[in-house]
Amino acid sequence: MKSVKFIACSAFIYALGARAQTPAAPTPEDLQKQIQALQQQMQQMMQGYQSQIKTLQEQIDALKAAQSPAAAPAPEEAAQGSVPPIPSAPPSPALQNPAISVLPDFTYSSGNDPYWKSQNAFQVREVELALSAAIDPYATANVYLSLENGHLNAEEAYAMFPGLPGGFSMKVGKFYADFGKQNAMHTHMWFQADQPLALRTMLGDEGLNDVGVSVNHLLPTPWMSDLTVEVTGGRNADVFGGARSDLAYNVAWRNFWDLTDNANLEAQLSLAGGKNATGHGTGLGNLSVTYRYKPLSSGTRASFLWRTEVIRENYRGMDGINRSTGAFSYVDWQFTRGWFAGLRADYAEHPSDPRMHDKGGALTLTFFPSEFQKFRLQYERIDYAGLGPRNALVFEYGFAIGPHGAHPF
Amino acid sequence: MKRTIMAALIIAGTAISATASGKLNVVSVYPDYGWLASQVGGDHVTVSVLAKGTQDPHFVDAKPSFLVALHKADLLLVNGLQLEVGFLPPLLQQCGNAKIQPGAPGYVDLSTFVKPIEVPVGGVDRSMGDIHPYGNPHYHLDPRNMAAIARGLAGVFAAADPSHAADFDKSGAAVSAQLLSLDAEVAHDLAPIKGAPVVAYHATLDYFFLHYGFNVVGFVEPKPGIKPSPVSLMELEKSIRDKGVKLLIVENYEDVKIADKVARDTGARVAVIPSYTGGAPDAQTYPALMRAIVHDLLEASRG
Ligand SMILES: [Zn+2]
């Protein structure tokens, strides 16, 4: 801009100077001619300057345009639509690594059922602490600590190797045996307030849970089918417990069929064996069948699940083999969003004396206000060893904080 | 124990040599990206899809049958932004496939090709409902995002199968151009109702609303993933009346009955729309899905 002004000023001075050089006493004709010449000169000069100014202005415009990038996002998006602002809060540690979740479970029980009578009326039955994180690119850690009656136990603590050569996956550490579906379920995932009678009576309160290695591979069948082989230390007070070197084994063959988009069927056969406290062998079998119905496009989220497991135990003791059988069957029906009604039938022979058996059932009503908490009311009626029915009314409440969102199916 | 490990290693060795095959095996969690993958990959890929377009993308069950596809996948296309957090992690742990584990090149998070909206500032917790902590994950309903993903997929496929890189590049560009013209078509067709105040069920269509110029006045869900209460519905109905909302938009897997009730109370009209490819008989491809949504919105606002 400065240079433009300078050129304009000097042009004016030059014009004045030209006028000053005019000779004295000129004729009117001369004057006329001189004026015309001057006018022409002036016009030419002005045209020149104008074109110069125009060129300069164009250059300035070009520079300015280059400075404001044409690639910048068009303001079109902000101006067009609008959506409500999303809320925010102080940073939550739950989103940091490792993923930590806490899942307490409270119960209140009344009635004359001996299983519930052995527990406090109001109790914090369990506080589960779930931690998980990738260890490195090869393995993921899953640790489930359980605080029960003042004792902290590693309910499960294992490394999962999801992609070994040859399509194998492997678990190393302490884990629930893949023995039926119910055995591996944590307390907060149960469909009723307690474990089915058959598991409690035949496998003990902790179920089949031990330290060892579990290897899994898909089978090349046209339907989904896989095989899990587990080798563990053989420590379970009720069924295993031989010498230090007596390991326990479990093989699970799982099959799954999508019947329709909305329904599927799962069947699993599990066979386990090891040495028991008498030094002889215990053999266990489990046949588990699950039918699930869940319409994909259901606004009300109705669903239905039916599961039956039959457990067989052959316990060889000092005085021969005891063959006992246990079974349970339950349904869980989601009749509207968040609300489930359930029914369970139980049967279990005593492994120590199969002539004696317990049988009964439970009715449940469960409400999930969200995925992260539940209220449950359960009525239970069990006849232990033919001594007459015992009743229990149980109220259960549990919640989950932290990212523990993904559940095994 | 030793014998078991030996046996496992022997089987492992034989299984590796059996996996060599010609085409790239692509698994997409959601059908929209499955459609995109087959458009970009053409004959050089086989594509399988886990979730159905008719189901709520937040609540896909971790069905064991998904393991069959995951087990042999070369590439896994995930939506990311934690949309799959409720079901994919256990499946990945079980699938026995190292190629598609998070962190491996075969794990393709498609959200890296787009710019997420509604990323919370300052952190979130569940008092806000089941909020998406890394931003709105439903970015597929803006065709420009799909165009960007098409170009991104061409690069991903080329890296996995360099012998067909030129084909992928060509089809990636073509599909991307096709999606951008789809975008122009949708914008043109929606012009008559542009700027309309609307109420939606969940933030599934926020990318769509922002881009095509709708004003979202509120959601039927009082908070993400939370069931509406009588009180929250009363407040919603008040703002529908106050702001003159004529259009209530509901994903077809949500509770349409609640939306119908709100519509009856307020005189607004309900558009029940598919929001994922395959979500309706007339939405079997992604362009068909976009046209079906446009059709449903125009139809409902016409009355
Ligand atoms: Zn969402």
Let me know: does A396 contact A188? Beta carbons within 8 Å.
Answer: no
Q: How far is the CA of B136 from the centre of ligand 1 (A)?
A: 7
- DSSP 8-class letter at A23: P
Any chain B CB within 8 A of the CB of A74?
no
Q: Which two tokens stand for residue B84?
A: 């799959």
> CA of A312, closest CA in chain B: separation in Å?
26
Using DSSP, state whether A319 is helix, strand or coil: coil
Q: Over 80: is that where the pLDDT of A91 sits? A: no
Kindly tell me the burial class for residue A80, based on how many C-beta atoms sit within 10 Å of its own C-beta (0-12, 13-18, 19 or more). Answer: middle
Please report the pLDDT score of residue A235 as a whole number.
Answer: 85
Chain B residues 143-202 within an 8 A CB cutoff of chain A: none
Give the distance (Å) from ligand 1 centre to CA of residue A7: 66
pLDDT (tens digit per residue) in A173-229: 999 999 999 999 999 999 999 999 999 999 988 899 999 999 999 999 999 999 999
| Minimum CA–CA partner of B11 in chain A | A166
Within 8 A of A266 by CB-CB distance, chain B residues are 64
What does pLDDT average to over chain A?
Answer: 83
Nearest to B257 among A90, A299, A401 (CB): A299
Higher pLDDT, A298 or B83: B83
Contact at CB, B62 and A409, closer than 8 angstroms: yes
Provide the pLDDT for residue A299: 67
Bridge-based pairing of strands B24-28 and B75-78 is parallel
Measured between beta carbons, the chain B residues lying within 8 angstroms of A159 are none
Question: In whole angstroms, what is the distance from residue B142 CA to residue B211 CA?
Answer: 7
The lowest-confidence range among A33-42, A139-148, B68-77 is A33-42
Q: What is the mean pLDDT of residues A158-185?
A: 95
Exposure of A281 by Cβ count < 10 A (0-12 exposed, 13-18 middle, 19+ buried)? middle
CB half-sphere exposure, A116, CA atoms < 13 A: 24
pLDDT, position A99: 84
What's residue A4's pLDDT? 44
| Chain B residues in contact with A338 (beta carbon < 8 A) | 227
What is the model's pTM?
Answer: 0.81
In this predicted model, what pLDDT tens digit does every residue of A349-385 receive, in sequence order? 999 888 999 999 999 999 998 888 999 999 999 999 9
Q: Per-residue pLDDT tens for A47-84?
A: 666 666 666 666 655 555 444 433 333 334 433 566 66
- Which of the residues A156, A261, A296, A298 would you substitute to probe the B interface, choosing the one with the greatest number of B C-beta atoms within 10 Å? A296
Q: Smallest Cβ distance to B255: which of A164, A247, A299?
A: A299
Domains annotated on chain B, with CATH:
2-184 (3.40.50.1980), 190-302 (3.40.50.1980)
Q: Which of A77, A167, A299 sits opposite B15 (nearest CB)?
A: A167
Asked if residue A10 has pLDDT above 80, the reply is no
Residues of A in contact with B89 (CB under 8 A): 406
pLDDT along chain B (303 residues), means of 10: 46 37 92 98 97 92 94 96 90 93 92 92 79 91 97 95 96 97 97 94 94 94 88 93 93 90 93 95 97 96 81
**Hey, are the CB atoms on A169 and B219 less than 8 Å from each other?**
no
Asked whether B69 and B266 are in contact (CB, 8 A), the reply is no
Q: Say how far residue A104 (Cα) sits from the centre of its chain.
A: 18
Work out the minimum CA distance from B101 to partner chain A, whole angstroms: 8
B155 token code pair: 């690069």
Chain A residue with Cα closest to B68? A224
Please list, in sequence order, all residues whose beta carbon lies within 8 angstroms of the beta carbon of residue A75, skipping any fewer than 6 positions away.
none
Please, which residues 277-296 of chain A have a Cβ atom closer than 8 Å to chain B? Answer: 294, 296
Q: Which residues of B33-67 are buried (b: 16+ CB within 10 A; e: fewer)?
A: bbbbbbbbbeebbbbbbbbbbbbbbbebbbbbbbb
Tell me which chain A residue has its CA closest to the CA of residue B7: A215
Q: Does B85 touch chain A (CB under 8 A)?
A: yes
Cα–Cα distance for residue pair A166/A160, rounded to 1 Å: 16
Distance (Å, rounded) from C-alpha B191 to C-alpha B188?
5
pLDDT for A408 equals 55
What is the value of ipTM here, to two decimals?
A: 0.85
Shortest CA gap A285–chain B (Å): 21
User: Which distant-in-sequence residues (6+ apart) come within 8 Å of B53 by Cβ?
Assistant: B31, B32, B274, B276, B277, B278, B279, B280, B283, B289
Question: In chain A, which among 204-263 make CB contacts under 8 A with chain B?
Answer: 213, 215-218, 223-224, 226, 229, 231, 247, 254, 256-258, 261
Taking contacts as CB-CB distances below 8 angstroms, the residues of chain B near A87 are 120, 124, 128, 131
Cα–Cα distance measured from residue A357 to residue A129, given in angstroms and rounded to the nearest whole number: 36
Across the interface, which of A81, A338, A371 has its CB nearest the CB of B212?
A81
**Average pLDDT value for residue range A324-346:** 96
CB contact under 8 A, A224 and B65: yes
At the topology level of CATH, where does A162-397 sit?
Porin (2.40.160)
What SS3 state is found at A9?
A: helix
| The amino acid at A55 | T
> According to the model, what pLDDT value does residue A150 have?
84
Contact residues, chain A, for B114 at CB < 8 Å? none
Distance CA A381, CA A112 (A): 10
Task: Inform me whether the pLDDT recorded for A95 exceeds 80.
Answer: no
Is residue B263 within 8 A of residue B241, CB to CB? The reply is no
d(Cα A30, Cα A28) in Å, to the nearest integer?
Answer: 5
Distance of alpha carbon A343 from alpha carbon A327, whole angstroms:
14
Provide the residue ranges of all domains of chain A, joining segments of one domain with +: 162-397
The number of C-beta contacts closer than 8 angstroms across A and B is 194
- What is the rounded CA–CA span in Å between residue A264 and residue A257? 6
CA–CA distance, B27 with A313 (Å, rounded to integer) = 42
Q: Nearest CA to A292 among A314, A267, A262?
A: A262
CA distance linking residue B237 with residue B72, whole number of Å: 50
- Please identify which residue in the block is written with the tokens 């449950």: A376
Sheet of B269-273: strand order equals B215-219, B197-200, B247-251, B269-273
What long-range pairs does B235-243 form, CB within 8 A, spacing at least 24? Answer: B236/B199, B236/B262, B237/B262, B237/B265, B237/B266, B240/B199, B240/B266, B240/B268, B241/B266, B243/B197, B243/B217
